[in-house]
Structure 1
Amino acid sequence: MNHAEVGVKVWGEYALFTRPEFKSERVSYQVITPSAARGLLEAIFWKPQIRYEIRRIGVLRLGTFTTILRNEIEQRQGTRPIFVEDVRQQRASLVLKDVAYLIHAEIVPQPWEKEPVVKYLDQFTRRLLRGQYHHTPYLGTREFSCAFEPPDEETPDPALNLDLGLMLFDIAYVPSRERRELEFIRHTPQGPERTSGYAQALFFPAKIESGWLTVPPEKYRELARLEERADV
């Protein structure tokens, strides 16, 4: 057995799954993205020996759009201290209110991992049943924390069908000696290592059919090919 299936029900008062094509304002996708769903599962249980591949997302409550004003800083905070009042700015965000989803995913071991995947499935299941987590799960942005539990009898509305257009699938962190645009950590059999490279966004045509958003599995193969690349 080289993978294990997991299911999680999540819900929250607010959610923001930012569309990258909007620059100045924050505008949410209508449904949680696969990358946000992956991050949520990693918040519950994370190990460098495994990765989560989202298979499908059930929409229990689609939610409604609402506009809120959020205080942000106009630059990333680095190692040097900043005075917040000098860099603070107020932005309007179009967010979702009152959402709930079913996330179906697979735990897939890294190619170099030798331990059976059932070991990690047991650890994930224990955390899910106890409501434990690695860090607070959230819906797209850290200020919008969410609740989670094992799936129950609630199911998506079979009459819900929506064409969502192109949706962000995930961000590939591609190691490269030619494009050293950022530094990131890669996990290897020898442990974590700092690598230079660049980030590349991947998209897919998203549709909700009978209440379910299905994630094409070939996108994970594309992601793996990109992240294994090295320009020598």
Structure 2
Amino acid sequence: MRSFVLEVWGELACFTRPEFKVERFSYPIITPSAARGIFDAIYLDFDPHNKKPLMYWQLSRIELLKPVRYISLMRNEVKEKASVRSIQSWMRDPASFEPLYADATRDDTGQDTKGRTQRQTMALKDVHYRLTAHAVLYQEDHALRQKIEHSFQRRARAGQCIYQPYLGCREFTGYFRLVEDEAAKPVPYNEKIGWMLYDVFDLARPGGPLRPDKGQKPHISLFEAEVVQGVLEVPPYQSPLVRKGGV
């Protein structure tokens, strides 16, 4: 089992704390689920028959390479978006097309309503992390592991990705490089964060994207996070330190 190390950075990031409800307030450091998403963006292997993942990336260590800095933002967030089913219907019958207005829409009573809303965001500014992770296969297979590890190394070295990684929100672009040389030391930062989101998927079993219409629902897990000298040690998903709730 081989571990890979990525340096990840960006101008802005927001890893939303769920307890703050409407207004977005970021954790001081990237969450394991957001970090796993960056590895997924570079390489993730799927079963060719049922299209479900054959593996997941297990984060083991998150290092903070720049001091924590917050920035307050006011952002417009849309209330609705076009569904795939609606778009397919419009393609079959162009006369049924109904536009979605950014500034106003009409409800069932014919009244105009706002199509977007302003929300306050406490985001992170100028972030830089070092992430360590390894591949966990649902069914261990030496040949498959070799394929996954070689493919990830090749793609990460070349800066290739399936989709552009992001830092919490899709508009906050993340950049990465594979670390194969002497690395910088983490910043001397200490904080007991408390309960932190570990993941929104049940990593113990294969699955695809969340599809509520297919009966799939989030499976939240949490762990007690503490940053010591700029390092957050992440327990394995199977560890009793990771609290797993129901759906």
Pairwise TM-score range, normalised by the shorter structure:
0.7 to 0.9
Q: What is the root-mean-square deviation of aligned Cα atoms in Å?
A: 2.8
Paired letter, 2:186: P
2:25 is matched with which residue? Answer: 27
Structure 1 unmatched runs, 5+: 175-184, 188-193
2:101 is aligned, of 83, 94, 97, to 83
Cα distance change of structure 1 residues 69 and 107 upon mapping to structure 2, 3 Å threshold: same
Shift of residue 207 of structure 1?
0.5
More strand by share: 1
Please say if 1:50 is aligned against 2:55: yes
**Structure possessing the higher radius of gyration over alpha carbons:** 2
Deviations 1:168-216 (A, max 9, x none): 0001359xxxxxxxxxx936xxxxxx95243231111100112210111
Please say if 1:162 is aligned against 2:191: yes
Question: Are the counterparts in 2 of residues 56 and 214 from structure 1 also a CA contact under 8 Å?
Answer: yes
1:101 is aligned, of 123, 129, 135, to 129
Structure 2 unmatched runs, 5+: 46-52, 87-98, 105-114
Cα distance change of structure 1 residues 77 and 221 upon mapping to structure 2, 3 Å threshold: farther
TM-score when scaled to structure 2?
0.76
Secondary structure at the counterpart of residue 198 of structure 1: coil
- Report 1:2-21 matches (<5 A): 3-21=1-19
Question: Are the counterparts in 1 of residues 81 and 100 from structure 2 also a CA contact under 8 Å?
Answer: no
Shift of residue 221 of structure 1?
5.6
Q: Give the number of the structure with larger relative contact order, counting CA–CA contacts within 8 Å between residues 6 or more apart.
A: 2
Please say if 1:205 is aligned against 2:224: yes
Please say if 1:123 is aligned against 2:151: yes
Secondary structure at the counterpart of residue 118 of structure 1: helix
CA distance in 2, matches of 1:77, 1:17: 25
2:37 is matched with which residue? Answer: 39
Q: 4+ runs of 1 displaced by more than 6 Å?
A: none
Aligned residue pair count? 209
Paired letter, 2:7: K
